Chain A
Amino acid sequence: QVQLQESGPGLVKPSETLSLTCTVSGGSIRSSYWSWIRQPPRKGLQWIGYIHYTGSTNYNPSLKSRVTISVNTSKNQFSLRLNSVTAADTAVYYCASGGDSWFDPWGQGTLVTVSS
């Protein structure tokens, strides 16, 4: 079965760029849409955007100006870049399979804190 694992720095300075990678195992990244979702501490879920293995993307308009999602099919990975971060971007970031409907499965999530 497909499993996802997020990786990347847990601490990012304000105004810098948050970069995370999601590694897909147990299946091919060429089989689906792939999304990033975040959850600020003690708050709800926000969809950030998706990428299809063909490279097509769709971003949440609230973050669109700062977000880039890319895919590396040879490594079975997709990545998130969020620039000009502030404390409001502190959250647990999840990668998940899906983006054209429901999300399943999800990665375990990684906490990214924005602080100097």
Chain B
Amino acid sequence: AIQLTQSPSSLSASVGDRVTITCRASQGITSDLAWYQQKPGKSPKLLIYDASSLESGLPSRFSGSGSGTDFTLTISSLQPEDFATYYCQQFNSYPLTFGGGTKVEIK
């Protein structure tokens, strides 16, 4: 199975900060990567698909980049509603797998 390693596992940031989360795959997955946001007690919400395509209706402060084994999710200016846990997920091969998550907390 392809392993996805996210870093950091948690971070503290302030409103307005630029935040970058990385996801590294154990083998190349081209651009077959999605990012999700999960708030406490809620189901994950799709943010980014195909590594860099922003889900319709979501704010442009979220962006994704990368291909092969290294990927990033960037929040250009952190807003209060962005404090959550973020997961990456690969769909290049089965079993489909998720990264361990990155918790973004208020500084």
Contacts and interface: CB of A to CB of B under 8 A. Distances in A.
The answer on A and B forming one complex is: yes
B22 to A, nearest CB: 16
B66 interface: no
Interface stretch (A16-24, A73-81, A83-91, A100-108): A100-108
Chain B interface residue bracket vs A? 20 to 34
B60 to A, nearest CB: 19
Nearest to A58: B94
A2 to B, nearest CB: 13
Contacts of A60: 95-96
A109 B42 CA distance: 8
Interface in A52-93: 58, 60-62
Interface in A28-49: 35, 44-47
B32, B34, B95: most-surrounded residue (chain A CB, <10 A): B95
B83 interface: no
Given A44-B100, A108-B43, A109-B43, A103 B89 contact: yes
A26 to B, nearest CB: 16
A45 B44 contact: yes
Interface residues of A, number: 21
Q: Which of B42, B55, B96 has the most CB of A within 10 A?
A: B96
Given A60-B95, A104-B55, A45 B87 contact: yes
B99 A101 contact: no
Contact of B98 (A47, A101, A105): A47
A101 B95 contact: no
Contacts of A94: 43-44
B49 A47 contact: no
Given A101-B32, A102-B46, A103-B46, A44 B101 contact: yes
Could you say which of A45, A104, A108, A109 has the most chain B C-beta atoms within 10 Å of its C-beta? A45
A47 B55 contact: no
Closest 4 CB pairs of A and B: A102-B34, A106-B43, A104-B46, A45-B98
8 contacts: A45-B89, A45-B98, A46-B98, A100-B91, A102-B46, A103-B89, A106-B43, A106-B45
